Chain A
């Protein structure tokens, strides 16, 4: 079964450093997403991406965050200057269409900011 793959599975970074989390969505999917889950809290929507632009973003997704689809397969989340509170599990996801379609999630990238 096709799956969303994420790298790295775990990253430790110093506060203030830039981090790039990488994702390979399912190949025929058109919509891409990032969600995050801070330890002990809910899974939260960060951003959705379609047709090479952001279609929706949450309040969490401020200027420190950016997303990019640099080629035909990868989808990246960049955190420009990490803060301690960015420590979380980051999930990449994709779907074929937007409305009611199944959103498939990757296994997550666990980011620890020290």
Chain B
């Protein structure tokens, strides 16, 4: 079985500060990892994903995440927060043998001016 833990249901940063959203996963098979973002009243939009290859993946809007197998982590970062980054962020895991995404509980990012 697979699972995802997102540390911190709410994260608050100042505009221009580093954004770090934490995600740890559990998987008995090699994982595929995803970060989705949900803006108010909108659907889930893919930010980035890791399947195979380079462990540092870059996504949209300046976000990136690094797959660390030894730490079973896939933390999301952005060097400088922007007001428009305020949203809820979901980490999710699947694997090459199936198509079911297992989501974490989500982290609401607040950006202060």
Task: Give the interface size bracket for B toward A.
Answer: 20 to 34
Known A-B contacts A100-B32, A105-B36; A43 and B44 likewise in contact (beta carbons under 8 Å):
yes
Are B99 and A33 in contact (CB-based, < 8 A)? yes
A82: shortest Cβ distance to chain B, in Å? Answer: 22
Known A-B contacts A99-B97, A105-B36, A105-B43; A42 and B51 likewise in contact (beta carbons under 8 Å):
no
Which applies to chain B's interface (DSSP): helix, strand, loop or mixed? loop
Assess whether B69 is interfacial by the CB under 8 Å rule: no
B1: shortest Cβ distance to chain A, in Å? Answer: 12
Are B51 and A108 in contact (CB-based, < 8 A)? no
Are B98 and A98 in contact (CB-based, < 8 A)? yes
Assess whether B46 is interfacial by the CB under 8 Å rule: yes
Indicate with 1 or 0, residue by residue over A83-114, a CB within 8 angstroms of chain B CB atoms: 00000000101010011101111111000000
